[in-house]
Structures are given as C-alpha cells and as structure tokens.
C-alpha cells in the first residue's frame, strides 16, 4: 500500500476492539470509504446491505476493506452505530480529516460510498449505486470499463449504423441530454448550429455522440431526429448509466469533450459552446481564469463543486482590470500545473462587471454594492464558507498569499447567507 492511503486516512483505524495501524489494516486492499450516520434513515437502510456484500466478499477471499467516516452528531451515536458494522472506522475525534475527506470527494449527501484502489486512487465516487446494482459483488472491485467498451461497436447514425471504429483518432463530444428536459431543448439547437458551422469549415476531426436520458425509445427517436450527429443506441441503458457515473454527470444538458485517447478535455463544455458558437476555440480546453460576470461554469469549472478565488475589480478601468487578470492568470497556471487527478485545488475567476452571478455572490456574502474590489474565496463545498481580503493591490503576490493563508487555515471563515 502506498503512503498515500495513510496520508488520506491517518495513521490508525478504529476497530471493534481498539485500534490498528492503517498501513497494516489496508495493505493491498481495495478500500471503500463509507460516509454515513446513525440519524440518517437511508444510511440505516443501506448499511446492512453493504455489510452483507462485505462479508460475502471477505469469505470469498477478496482484498476489500471498508472505513466508516461518521457524520454522527456525537461520539455516543457514533459508537452505537459503529457497533453494528463489521469493518473499520476513522476515529470519531478526527473531525478535521472527516471534513477534508468529505470535501475531497465532494460528498453532498449520505450515505456515500467512495471506492479506492490499492494505492488510494479513485475507482468511483458512486460506489453506493455500483454495489446496489451488484449485490453479489460479482464485478468487484467495480473498476469502470473502458469508454470504448461502454460505447460499443456500433452507433446510430442519420443514415444507418456507424462503426465506432470509424471514429478512431477523432476528438469526441458525449452529449448527455433528453427530450423531456427544457434546458436541453434550448441548448440542442445551439449545439447543432455550432456543429454544422464547424463541419462546413472543414473540421472533420471531431464527432458528437448523443447519450440519451429519455424515458422511452419513442422519445429518443423523436429527439435524435433533430440532431445532426451520432447517438448511443437507446438499448444500452446500463452503459449510459456507467458513462454518466464515469464523467460525474449530475445534470443535463452536459457536453463532455474527450481526446482521441478518451482522456478528458472538458467535463462540462456547455458554457464554452455558448461563448464560442463558431467553434474557434474547440476543443474548449478549460481556461485557467474565467470571468464570473458571464457564467460560473463556462470552461467546465463549477463554482458549486470547487473552492474558487474571485478577484473583484468592478470599479477599475480596463487597463487595471487587464493587469488583475494577468496576475490571477499567473497564479492559476501554477495551480493547474500542479493539479492531480482530482483537478486543481482551487479555481479562479475575475469579476470585472457587477453582472451575472456577481451580485448574488456579494449578497450571499452580505457584502454591499459598495464592495467593488478585493479578493474573495468562495468555498461552497465547505458548507458555504467564504473568506475576504482587501489588499492594497491585487497582484500575483497578494493572490498567492491569500491562497497560502487559506490552505494554512489562517483566514477568518465566514458563512454564506442562506437567503
């Protein structure tokens, strides 16, 4: 087992009879990190099912271990609930690590079951669905199949079947959408116009595949008739769900852009298409810095899912704003360059105009309209925490200092308004 697992979960795990070194308990194991709580009815329903799968896999000699990460409100409740479990637990008093784990895996509700490989690498954040679909554990350790396997050999084209092999070497867009979804119905014609414009301009090194969330095949056929691209056969429902999990699609419409080797270029390119209707910036690589007044996810960076530094400069002239953007860009490139598989630790925005989401962000922070310049750090994943700094000058040095102080816990945390 790599030291990454110890770094992630700490030096020791709690057992029913005491504690055990993490290195010893998890060596060579696929680890399920189970976020749950005694007070949570869905958790109380899922825990016995998970315990049954766990015990069956153990009896079969599988290299599995589970670590309970408690959201219980007190240690007595934790102890009572953990007493029903056949696995390990993060010590209850390690609340800081519990919060860090919840944030790392973007846990927005419980029960959540995150599956990690033997080296601490992520297999899936949606382990609850995976084990529920496989109650006998036949597909353990539930590693995702290759994208090409999920898509299959044959796609539905406008004039008949199309071999997936014919798309080799092309950049792909997986378009998750549905006939019943009003935002999808609004976005599809815009995407179609961009697609046709790019094709007419001779850009044939890409293709889009419609991945349907329609409720029946008739709706699927009606909807795909409006689209100029290919479609995943409607019958591949299980594969559709696996693709949604693979790319963490939580809402539609969503356009995922993949390189020819199926690596991710952009997990949500919907906003990028809206800003670049001719496809001049295709394949819409995420930009290190976005303008908050235009959108919160134009480059696939979602302010609801990641801590975000916002350089507010609404009262500056254009030259001053350009200097701020250049400074933030310098730091953002450093952060993106150091990013691992989970993406950058923070994302970056400028706010040059008091438009779009900017007024709402200021209102939620209880900052008045007179607040026109400064550095903000919005941490929605941390239950809506935020931080404010008003340096004399917004430059690369003050942005770096602000980020470093946040990471070191030296900033005063404030709570977003619920209104």
On whether residue 139 sits in a domain, the answer given is no
pLDDT at 271: 85
**What are the structure tokens assigned to 331, written together?**
């730091």
Residues 388-411 pLDDT 10s = 999 999 999 999 999 999 999 999
Residues 147-160 pLDDT 10s = 999 999 999 999 99
Whether residue 386 sits in one domain with residue 362: yes
Domain that holds residue 185: 147-275
Whether residue 238 sits in one domain with residue 192: yes
On whether residue 345 sits in a domain, the answer given is yes
Whether residue 271 sits in one domain with residue 189: yes
pLDDT at 303: 77
**Position 103 confidence tier, pLDDT thresholds 50, 70, 90:** confident
On whether residue 117 sits in a domain, the answer given is yes
CA distance 192 to 182: 16
Q: pLDDT over 90 for what percent of the chain?
A: 81
Whether residue 375 sits in one domain with residue 307: yes
- Does 365 have pLDDT greater than 60? yes
On whether residue 284 sits in a domain, the answer given is no
Q: From 133, 165, 194, give the residue that closes a domain.
A: 133
Domain total in the chain: 3
pLDDT at 242: 93
Whether residue 253 sits in one domain with residue 337: no
Residues 59-92 pLDDT 10s = 999 999 999 999 999 999 999 999 999 999 999 9
Whether residue 218 sits in one domain with residue 161: yes
On whether residue 138 sits in a domain, the answer given is no
SS (H, E, C) 339-386: CECCECCCEEEEECCCCCCHHHHHHHCCCCCCCCEEEEEEEHHHCCEE
Q: From 275, 306, 341, give the residue that closes a domain.
A: 275
Whether residue 126 sits in one domain with residue 26: yes
Distance of CA 292 to the CA centre of its chain: 19
Provide the pairing of β-strand 160-163 with 230-231: unpaired
pLDDT (average), residues 367-379: 91
CATH of the domain at 266: 3.40.30.10
pLDDT (average), residues 173-187: 97
Whether residue 180 sits in one domain with residue 295: no
Whether residue 94 sits in one domain with residue 9: yes
Whether residue 205 sits in one domain with residue 161: yes
pLDDT at 238: 92
Q: In 3-state terms, what secondary structure has residue 117?
A: coil
Whether residue 176 sits in one domain with residue 128: no
Provide the pairing of β-strand 18-21 with 12-15: antiparallel
Q: What is the largest CA-CA distance in the chain?
A: 69
Whether residue 386 sits in one domain with residue 266: no
Q: From 108, 133, 158, give the residue that closes a domain.
A: 133
On whether residue 8 sits in a domain, the answer given is yes
**Position 300 confidence tier, pLDDT thresholds 50, 70, 90:** very low
What integer best gives the mean pLDDT of the chain? 92
On whether residue 140 sits in a domain, the answer given is no
Predicted TM-score of the model (pTM): 0.81
């Amino acid at each position: 087992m790599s030291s990454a697992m110890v770094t992630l979960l700490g030096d020791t795990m709690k057992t029913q009879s005491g504690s055990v070194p993490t290195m010893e308990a998890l060596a060579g194991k696929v680890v399920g990190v189970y976020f749950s709580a005694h007070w949570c009815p869905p958790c109380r329903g899922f825990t016995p099912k998970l315990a049954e799968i766990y015990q069956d896999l153990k009896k079969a000699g599988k290299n599995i271990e589970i670590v309970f990460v408690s959201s219980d409100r007190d240690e007595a409740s934790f102890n009572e609930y953990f007493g029903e479990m056949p696995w390990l637990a993060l010590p209850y008093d390690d609340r800081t690590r519990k919060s860090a784990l919840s944030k790392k895996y973007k846990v927005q509700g419980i029960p959540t079951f995150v599956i990690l490989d033997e080296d601490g690498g992520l297999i899936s954040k949606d382990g609850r669905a995976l084990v529920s679909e496989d109650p006998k554990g036949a597909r353990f350790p539930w590693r995702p199949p290759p994208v090409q396997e999920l898509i299959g050999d044959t796609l539905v084209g406008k004039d008949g079947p199309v071999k997936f092999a014919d798309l080799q070497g092309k950049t792909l867009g997986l378009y998750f959408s549905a006939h019943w979804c009003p935002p999808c119905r609004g976005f599809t014609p815009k995407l179609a116009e961009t697609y046709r414009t790019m094709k007419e301009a001779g850009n044939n090194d890409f293709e889009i595949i419609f991945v349907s969330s329609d409720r029946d095949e008739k709706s699927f056929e009606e909807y795909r008739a409006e689209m100029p691209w290919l479609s995943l056969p409607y019958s591949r429902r299980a594969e559709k769900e696996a693709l949604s999990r693979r790319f963490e699609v939580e809402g539609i419409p969503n356009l995922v852009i993949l390189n020819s080797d199926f690596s991710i270029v952009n997990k949500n390119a919907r906003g990028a298409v809206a800003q670049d209707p001719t496809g001049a910036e295709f394949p819409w690589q995420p930009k290190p810095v976005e303008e908050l007044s235009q959108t919160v996810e134009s480059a696939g960076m979602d302010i609801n899912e990641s801590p975000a530094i916002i350089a507010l400069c609404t009262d500056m002239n254009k030259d001053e704003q350009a200097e701020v953007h250049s400074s933030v860009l310098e730091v953002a490139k450093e952060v993106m360059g150091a990013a691992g598989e989970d993406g950058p630790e923070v994302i970056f925005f400028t706010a040059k105009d008091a438009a779009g989401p900017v007024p709402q962000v200021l209102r939620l922070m209880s900052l008045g309209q007179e607040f026109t310049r400064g550095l903000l750090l919005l941490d929605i994943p941390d239950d809506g925490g935020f931080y404010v700094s008003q340096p004399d000058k917004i430059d690369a040095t003050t942005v770096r200092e602000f980020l470093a102080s946040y990471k070191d816990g030296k900033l005063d945390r404030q709570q977003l308004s619920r209104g």
